Amino acid sequence: MSQVTRALDYLKQGLTLARSPGLRAYVVVPMIFNVLVFGGLYYLSGQWIAGWISTATAGWAFDGGLSFLNGAIDFLVSAAVVLVWILLLGLLASVFTLGVQLIAAPFMGFLAEKVDVRATGRPLPEESIPAMTLRVFKRELRKTWYWLWRAVLILFVVLVIYFIPVVNVFASAVWFLWSGWLLGMQYIDYAADNRQVPFTEMLERLKTKRWLVLTFGSVILGLTMLPLVNLVIMPVAVIAGTLVWVHELEEGP
């Protein structure tokens, strides 16, 4: 079985395990949290912007011979409000996912631990909850620094490619694949961190299975681009990423 096929199989296994009794709570709780927080932010932001548009355009009406345009103006204002709601949904879907990954990291660490122990039968190193929470949070900051400055460089390359005729069709693909690699790393690293494998060593192991990690992360990236789906995909991705680590990478190259 190729690395690409195995990556898809792990995602399928992750979806199956997410519905199992022992792990269901770790999937449902963050899903409810995500939906409540996302829904609240979306509603409040949308109401504020829509209200601002309505207030700003309240006096836009013609009298006399141009009054026939008032219907068109009302339509454009209504269309602008609808467009704001749609764009806000896409924006919050992207930004909110990054924020939740940082906030929910300790909880996802617990989920990865449950999957790891179930798959291997081996307990994880003894560690207090405060120590584990601090370690996971520091790891998330380390990963954020890893991708942040590299993302700036990749973005520069993408912008250069974008202005080159013919070659510019590959600009979006470069950025998508880079983002897919990052997401693959993100969700596989929960299990590596639980086993207290150093971040640099984890990266070296990922490089031995590039196509597997890239396929895994790219599929997740595609799913996170779907509004609402991205609110429930995180636990499934953590489960699948843990399986990838346990079965493919834990022993190293």
pLDDT tens readout for residues 91-144: 665 555 555 655 666 677 788 888 999 988 888 887 777 877 787 778 878 888
pLDDT at 179: 84
Contacts of 245 (CB under 8 A, 6+ apart): 116, 188, 191, 192
Rounded CA separation 157/151 (Å): 10
Longest dimension (CA), the chain: 82
Low-confidence stretches of the chain (pLDDT beneath 50):
none
Give 58's DSSP letter: T
Provide the whole-model pTM.
0.71
Measured CA angle at 170 (ends 166, 173), to 5 deg: 165
pLDDT at 40: 76
pLDDT at 1: 64
